[in-house]
Amino acid sequence: QIGVRCLGGQAASPLQESAVEEEMEWDNLGFSLVQTDYMYVMKCGEEESEFEAGQLSRFGNIELSPAAGVLNYGQGVFEGTKAYRSENGGLFLFRPQDNAIRMQIGADRMCMQSPSVHQFIHAVKQTALANRRWIPPPGKGSLYIRPLLIGSGPVLGVAPAAEYTFLVYASPVGNYFKEGTAAINLYVEDEFHRAGRGGAGGVKSVTNYAPVMKAMRRAKDKGFSDVLYLDANNKRDIEEVSASNVFMLKDNVISTPPMNGTILEGITRKSIMDIAQDLGYQVEERAIPIEELLEADEVFCTGTAVVVAPVGSITYKGNRVEYKMSAELGCLKLQSRLVGIQRGEIEDSRGWLVQI
């Protein structure tokens, strides 16, 4: 664990809470699991059309059949959303309804029952409030909230599970990359692909992440921050980074790959597209050949975990292209507008924030 310590690695009892707060080192938060106090759990059986009422319980291990659908056949989808603390002490979620809808779409793709939008948002709010002392002070990070939907029922043949479990847990986080707020260095992968047409790359399925680990490990071993994947058909157009969407800026135009079933429809991605238009950029969703990306003025990644990360270099087929860095980068303006809205410092004219 980086930065924050939790007494004995265990969830603290209420009596220990002030002691735990004194232990916090909010300045060094990274993106690794810090065990918080509570999680939210609800279930839906085969015969039921809706999830039963859920409840909070102490954060801890869950019991699963070894034959659970998620363990054997990867029947699971998840979300990532964040709770922020504003300067005046307010607590906010950012666009949780969009996460709820995205989970429903993903669940449908994976043949799973899913919670209603109301149930999802209620569970996220309850989890954030129950763990509110873990929401970092303004400017020090956020509480990353992970809603997870799994096929928990046992199954032997390849088929949907007979029971689903929806869980929400949380962890305080800071910067996703070890580079902190500095620019990241991407490696373009041309052997492994993240997703193919008709697959599940467009939804937040648990099955999208283990397959990128080998490429990530190879790239990290060579000192890169992360991997940029190309389309599986032609190895020509950029798709996304392991856990974030990718954008380029050239002159006054901001471009990002279109949604074609292989790219995750990021909530930060679409927020940045709106903010870019507010700031006077022209925004395009279109196929972007890797060669064109290498000629961009700026490249940046977006995601709930990543927020907006400037890219300092891209290495493709052994050639490293470096991008100019300055405090005037367009992506830093987008980042500061987004983060300002999320922290309640800039007017939220689109109603993205939900106060809890």
| Smaller CB separation from ligand COI, 316 or 343 | 343
Of 26 and 209, CB closest to ligand COI: 209
Q: Which lies closer to ligand COI via its Cβ, residue 177 or residue 316?
A: 177
Smallest gap from Cβ 177 to ligand COI, in A, equals 11
Q: In degrees rounded to 5, what are phi and psi of residue 297?
A: -75, -40
Classified as helix, coil or strand, 321 is strand
Q: Which is nearer to ligand COI, 226 or 237 (CB)?
A: 226
The H or E element spanning position 228 is strand 226-230
Tell me the C-alpha distance between 241 and 234, whole Å: 17
Active-site annotation holds for 270: no
For ligand COI, the binding residues (CB under 6 A) are: 80, 243, 303-305
Question: Which residue's entry shows tokens 């029971």?
Answer: 163
Output the residue with the shortest Cβ distance to ligand COI: 80
Task: Write down the catalytic residue from 43, 82, 125, 204.
Answer: 204
Cβ closest to ligand COI, residue 134 vs residue 177: 177
CB of residue 305 vs ligand COI: minimum separation in angstroms? 3
CA 130 to chain centroid, in Å, comes to: 21
* C-alpha distance across the termini of the chain, in Å: 28
- Shortest reach from residue 244's CB to ligand COI, in Å: 7
Q: Map residue 326 onto helix, strand or coil.
A: coil
Using N-to-C axis directions, what is the helix angle for 267-278 and 330-342, rounded to 10°? 110
What does the alpha-carbon distance between residue 147 and residue 142 come to, in Å, rounded to a whole number? 16
DSSP line for 238-307: EEEETTBEEEEEETTEEEE---SSSS---HHHHHHHHHHHHTT-EEEE---BHHHHTT-SEEEEEETTTE
Q: How far is the CB of 220 from ligand COI (least distance, A)?
A: 15
Residue positions annotated with a catalytic role? 204
